[in-house]
């Protein structure tokens, strides 16, 4: 009887120079042996939450420039230890990984999860002083994007919108649209019990309409528009609560005080995406994504997987998933009045909200299911790696 073939084990090196999501790390670890080559930032971990998988971590507390040289040196010295390199974004570290890939022949792919230049422009718009000086980093970002477009071999992006973003850099390299890390629809699923019991479990108000907002606090996420819409509805006498969970929850609470709505805002630390976050969606009546710019937007997809209605700004990758009249409601970016009207539509039309949320769950299961997404990634990695390289 012929011996059974041993499964191919691929050695993946993931290069990151800013925080990455725990779900992405855990998914990559399933592909084989994972090495995380990470830049450490003081006061911030390189992974959003503790992981439940084994991997090799090589951390360096360095500036971005020095970290890029560290990445280049590491990948050249240990070229026989990696079959496939995945580099986060298209910044300095990605440039170093791409140069190393050219020199060693190791398949190297840039993972683009956000439109970096667009995010930076949002931040520039909030600067009261020193704006002219602050444009220098934007120029550097554009030059790095162009350099990576010339030197890099391939892109992996989360959405069609991000595909258009990297195409604008002048690349003629292959661009694969793959929504890593996907959504686990077994974890993010409709609740089996009523909202009141879930809210009691989470120590949330059991009465009133509950709006959930889980984006990190940054200019591109535009929490100010959401707070303004909430204030409008409270002034009308609406009984509602706004719940927020993120690492910037204190900043959000401060902004809520400035908007005069802190008495109806519950802001908490970020919760684990699998162990706790689904319960917050299930406890909510609607999820809002108020971004000025967005690469894809996983929070709306997770909400829809739980069959919770979604309202999103009509921008970036959000318009690919939140379809008016089908899977949710959209409004013009920064328009608090229209956002308030969308919230009223959800308040007053529960049957329609339920219909759109159910359609949204079907969309998530068809296009964003975690298992399917990582199987496609596995196929990409194994196809890219020469047969003789994997062990």
Mind giving me the DSSP string for 184-217? -TTTS---SS-HHHHHHHTT--SSSEEEEE---S
pLDDT value at residue 270: 93
> Exposure pattern of 7-37 as b/e (b: 16+ CB <10 Å)?
eeebbbbbbbbebbbbbbbbbbbebbbbbbb
The chain-wide mean pLDDT, for the chain, equals 92
Range 153-168 average pLDDT: 96
Q: Bigger pLDDT: 318 or 48?
A: 318
Judge whether 159 and 320 are in contact, CB under 8 Å. Answer: yes
Indicate whether 254 pLDDT > 80.
yes
Range 261-281 average pLDDT: 95
210/243 Cα distance (integer angstroms): 7
379/67 Cα distance (integer angstroms): 30
Q: What's the token pair of residue 320?
A: 């690919």
Q: Bigger pLDDT: 74 or 52?
A: 74
Q: Which residues contact 26 (CB under 8 A, 6 or more apart)?
A: 51, 52, 53
Q: What's the token pair of residue 383?
A: 């196809």
Radius of gyration of the chain, Cα coordinates, nearest whole angstrom: 22
218-244 pLDDT per residue, tens:
999 999 999 999 999 999 999 999 999
Range 363-376 average pLDDT: 96
pLDDT value at residue 128: 56
pLDDT value at residue 6: 39
* pLDDT bucket at 304, cuts 50 / 70 / 90: very high
Indicate whether 3 pLDDT > 50.
no
Range 248-260 average pLDDT: 96
* pLDDT bucket at 2, cuts 50 / 70 / 90: very low
Q: What's the token pair of residue 221?
A: 């996420």
Q: Catalogue all structural domains in the chain, each as residue range(s) with its CATH number.
A: 10-182+370-384 (3.40.50.2000), 195-367 (3.40.50.2000)
Indicate whether 131 pLDDT > 90.
no
Range 32-40 average pLDDT: 94
Judge whether 298 and 322 are in contact, CB under 8 Å. Answer: no
* pLDDT bucket at 41, cuts 50 / 70 / 90: confident
* pLDDT bucket at 390, cuts 50 / 70 / 90: low
102-125 pLDDT per residue, tens:
999 999 999 999 999 899 888 888
65/72 Cα distance (integer angstroms): 11
Judge whether 359 and 307 are in contact, CB under 8 Å. Answer: no
Which DSSP helix (H) or strand (E) runs through 298?
helix 298-305
Range 66-78 average pLDDT: 96
The least confident of 47-56, 160-169, 175-184 is: 47-56
């Amino acid at each position: 009887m012929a011996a059974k073939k041993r499964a191919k084990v691929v050695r993946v090196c993931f290069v990151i120079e800013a925080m990455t999501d725990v779900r992405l790390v855990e998914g990559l670890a399933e592909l084989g042996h994972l090495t995380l080559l990470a830049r450490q930032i003081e006061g911030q971990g390189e992974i959003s939450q503790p992981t439940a998988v084994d991997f090799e971590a090589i951390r360096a507390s360095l500036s971005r420039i020095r970290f890029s040289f560290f990445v280049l040196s590491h990948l050249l010295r240990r070229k026989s230890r990696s079959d496939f390199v995945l580099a986060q974004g298209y910044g300095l570290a990605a440039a170093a990984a791409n140069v190393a890939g050219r020199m060693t022949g190791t398949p190297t792919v840039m993972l683009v999860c956000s439109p970096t230049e667009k995010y930076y422009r949002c931040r520039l718009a909030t600067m009261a002083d020193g704006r002219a000086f602050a444009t220098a980093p934007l120029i550097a970002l554009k030059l790095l994007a162009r350099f990576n477009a010339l030197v890099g071999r391939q892109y992996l992006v989360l959405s069609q919108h991000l595909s258009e973003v990297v195409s604008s850099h002048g690349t003629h390299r292959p661009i694969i649209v793959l929504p890593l890390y996907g959504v686990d629809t077994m974890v993010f699923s409709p609740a089996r019990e009523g909202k009141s019991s879930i809210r009691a479990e989470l120590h949330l108000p059991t009465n009133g309409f509950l709006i959930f907002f889980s984006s990190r606090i940054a200019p591109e996420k535009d929490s100010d528009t959401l707070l303004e819409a909430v204030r409008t509805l409270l002034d009308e006498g609406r009984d509602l609560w706004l719940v927020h969970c993120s690492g910037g929850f204190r900043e959000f609470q401060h902004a809520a005080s400035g908007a005069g709505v802190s008495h109806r805002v519950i802001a908490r630390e970020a919760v684990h995406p699998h162990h706790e976050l689904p319960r917050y969606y299930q406890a909510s009546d609607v999820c809002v994504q108020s971004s000025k710019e967005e690469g894809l937007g996983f929070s709306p997809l997770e909400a829809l997987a739980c069959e919770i209605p979604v309202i999103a700004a009509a921008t970036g990758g959000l318009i690919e998933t939140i379809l008016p009249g089908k899977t949710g409601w959209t409004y013009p970016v920064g328009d608090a009045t229209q956002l308030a009207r969308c919230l009223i539509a959800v308040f007053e039309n529960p049957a329609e909200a339920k219909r759109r949320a159910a359609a949204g769950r079907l969309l998530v299961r068809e296009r964003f299911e975690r298992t399917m997404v990582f199987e496609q990634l596995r196929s990409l990695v194994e196809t890219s790696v020469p047969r003789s390289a994997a062990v």
